[in-house]
Structure 1
Amino acid sequence: MDLQFFLCWRVAPLFLLMPSGLRCMSVHIVNKEPVHVILGSNLILRARMERGPLEDISMVTWEREPETGIDPVRRTLAACPGGNPTCAGARPNIRVNVEQQETTLLINEYSTADSGVYAVTVTDHRGARTTAYCIVREYEAVHHVSVSINVSHSTLVCGEAWGTDPHFSWLHEKTTINQAVGKVSKDGATLFVTMTPICGHFTCMVSNKLGDSSATYTAAPCETGGRGTTAAVVCLVLLVLLCGGVLAFLLWRRRRHTNRGERLHEHLDDGI
């Protein structure tokens, strides 16, 4: 008894000095939160498990509860003993894999009812439990795109209702924005207009994995190059007519002077 007490007294401080990862089990979900899933596709959640050399996993449990609600009810999706590499879930489309340092939850044909807060709980051989959480939501298409203008700052702002992971792009008169027109913000939602005056059609296009939508802001019409060309042609025609008129006048005047000289010469001949 004295020897056992001595050994426990000598070994206990060593456990206290061990890093936390060696003294107790931990788990965290590696998916970037929140996880957005397209309806009908597969939901895959992965959790990393870290345990000490003296720790054994006795149970891995996956659960889900609604994200909102006064009294949300947590439902067990699967409970897998630590020694089993795979196990079936509460429904036929649910399966769980358990490895030495990772556990994976797979739900086939994701539906709206599968949205919520997911929890994975790892229980060690002593009954100690550690839990990690992750929010899962439905992947939404883009909706209700709009464009507003801030005249004082010469900016156009594109807004979108609730689409998941929206990507913004801008067009001016159906062509990509260039430096002569303006500059797009880093997130793509704002266009800083540099052209003066602001004119033409500005279109904001918003897209994600489920499609795209757009909205257009219409300013005053821009003066097109065709009008300038027409004005140049008119000026050229007028210049040609003016030059032609001057040339015709000079020819007429020269001819008149010549005819007058001939008549004077004939008159002098008759007098002689």
Structure 2
Amino acid sequence: MDLQCLRCWNVLSLLLLLPGRFWCMSVHILNEQPVHVIPGTKLVLTARIEKNLWEQISMIKWTQEPETGHDRTKVTLATCPAKSPKCSGERPDVQVSLKQQETTLEMNRYSTEDSGEYSVTVTDRSGANTTGRCIVREYEAVHHVSVSINVSHSLLVCHEAWGTDPSFSWLHERAAITQQVGKVSKDGDMLIVTMTPICGHFTCVVGNKLGYSSATYTAAPCESGGRGMTAAVVCLVLLLLVCGGVLAFLLWRRRRKNNMGERLYEHTDDTI
């Protein structure tokens, strides 16, 4: 029993004397990736630094490089000594701030050329580095919307080329989809048509923060509108026929009454 306690104390002493071997500083960017930014707006990236009590930060550096391509030149955006309240940067539109165990990079006017891989590297007092990375891309408008149909499954599918965060909605004859027409999928890009037969105009509207675009699938014309018009015409014709018949009857009756009066007058003259 005493031997086991002695071994435990020896292990604990080693842990206390050599903390760097068992504790590693880490840094990760908190933004959901990839980050999409509208050109002309502000880019904000925040990274959290996880470290133990023994570790001390000596330097923080933010860099950027192209995401793809052969020339992936890394550009230093800002360098921040831990003991200095100011960060030195190569661009006037980039600011970096430090707050407890977080560091935040702000780029005032983001442009398409600023897309790429962003890195934040934290250096401790022993010279060891740890890096967190994040992909930043341009927020793009909706492009090339189209609608296809799977006739066997009564399914309409809306396609969009490469817009950022597209949202889908459907219209039938310029009105919102009802249960009588169909059911929209959870993602919104598919419409299960329940009406039979499939007829009319089905429009898929795709939008994001930069605007909207739409495409329409045109099926056979719906007969409901034609039947209604035909019924209206038939009713009008019948009404005209009835009115004409009544008018003709009244005229016939008036004429007959006049004829009977003339005959009665002629008969009286003959008698006299």
Sort the TM-score into its range (normalised by shorter chain): 0.7 to 0.9
Cα distance change, pair 14–171 in 1 and its aligned pair in 2 (3 A): same
In the alignment, the residues of structure 2 paired with residue 127 and residue 62 of structure 1 have an alpha-carbon distance, to the nearest angstrom, of 17
Q: Give 1:57 shift.
A: 0.6
Q: Give 1:73 shift.
A: 1.8
| Runs of 4+ displaced beyond 4 Å | 7-10, 14-20, 235-242
2:98 maps to 98
1:61 maps to 61
Q: Deviations over 1:117-172 (max 9, x none)?
A: 01111111111111111000000000111111111111111111110000000000
In the alignment, the residues of structure 1 paired with residue 99 and residue 24 of structure 2 have an alpha-carbon distance, to the nearest angstrom, of 18
Contact between 1:85 and 1:99, CA under 8 Å: does it hold in 2?
A: no
Alignment of 1:106-185 (within 5 A): 106-185=106-185
In the alignment, the residues of structure 2 paired with residue 17 and residue 198 of structure 1 have an alpha-carbon distance, to the nearest angstrom, of 71
SS in 1 for 2:87: strand
Backbone CA RMSD of aligned residues: 3.0
Alignment of 1:237-252 (within 5 A): 238=238
1:28 equivalent in alignment to 2:54 = no
Structure 1 stretch 197-206 or stretch 230-239: which is displaced more?
230-239
Q: Give percent identity, aligned residues only.
A: 66
Q: Give 1:9 shift.
A: 7.5
Cα distance change, pair 9–208 in 1 and its aligned pair in 2 (3 A): closer
1:224 maps to 224
Q: Give 1:15 shift.
A: 6.5
Cα distance change, pair 96–18 in 1 and its aligned pair in 2 (3 A): closer
Q: Give 1:66 shift.
A: 0.7
SS in 2 for 1:224: helix
1:78 maps to 78
Number of residue-to-residue matches in the alignment: 242
SS in 2 for 1:179: coil
Contact between 1:84 and 1:98, CA under 8 Å: does it hold in 2?
A: no
Cα distance change, pair 139–87 in 1 and its aligned pair in 2 (3 A): same
Cα distance change, pair 232–113 in 1 and its aligned pair in 2 (3 A): closer
In the alignment, the residues of structure 1 paired with residue 77 and residue 112 of structure 2 have an alpha-carbon distance, to the nearest angstrom, of 16
Cα distance change, pair 48–10 in 1 and its aligned pair in 2 (3 A): closer
1:264 maps to none
In the alignment, the residues of structure 2 paired with residue 183 and residue 16 of structure 1 have an alpha-carbon distance, to the nearest angstrom, of 63
Contact between 1:88 and 1:94, CA under 8 Å: does it hold in 2?
A: no
In the alignment, the residues of structure 2 paired with residue 181 and residue 195 of structure 1 have an alpha-carbon distance, to the nearest angstrom, of 5
Q: Deviations over 1:82-115 (max 9, x none)?
A: 1234424211111111122100011110011110
In the alignment, the residues of structure 1 paired with residue 179 and residue 63 of structure 2 have an alpha-carbon distance, to the nearest angstrom, of 52
Cα distance change, pair 9–183 in 1 and its aligned pair in 2 (3 A): closer
Cα distance change, pair 15–44 in 1 and its aligned pair in 2 (3 A): farther
Contact between 2:37 and 2:137, CA under 8 Å: does it hold in 1?
A: yes
Query: One-letter code of the match for 1:138?
Result: E
Contact between 2:121 and 2:130, CA under 8 Å: does it hold in 1?
A: yes
Query: One-letter code of the match for 1:13?
Result: L
1:12 maps to 14
SS in 2 for 1:231: helix
Contact between 1:86 and 1:95, CA under 8 Å: does it hold in 2?
A: no
Contact between 2:177 and 2:183, CA under 8 Å: does it hold in 1?
A: yes
SS in 1 for 2:231: helix
SS in 1 for 2:212: strand
Query: One-letter code of the match for 1:89?
Result: G
In the alignment, the residues of structure 1 paired with residue 57 and residue 10 of structure 2 have an alpha-carbon distance, to the nearest angstrom, of 24
Task: Give the structure-2-normalised TM-score.
Answer: 0.80
Query: One-letter code of the match for 1:73?
Result: T
Contact between 2:19 and 2:54, CA under 8 Å: does it hold in 1?
A: no
Cα distance change, pair 83–178 in 1 and its aligned pair in 2 (3 A): same
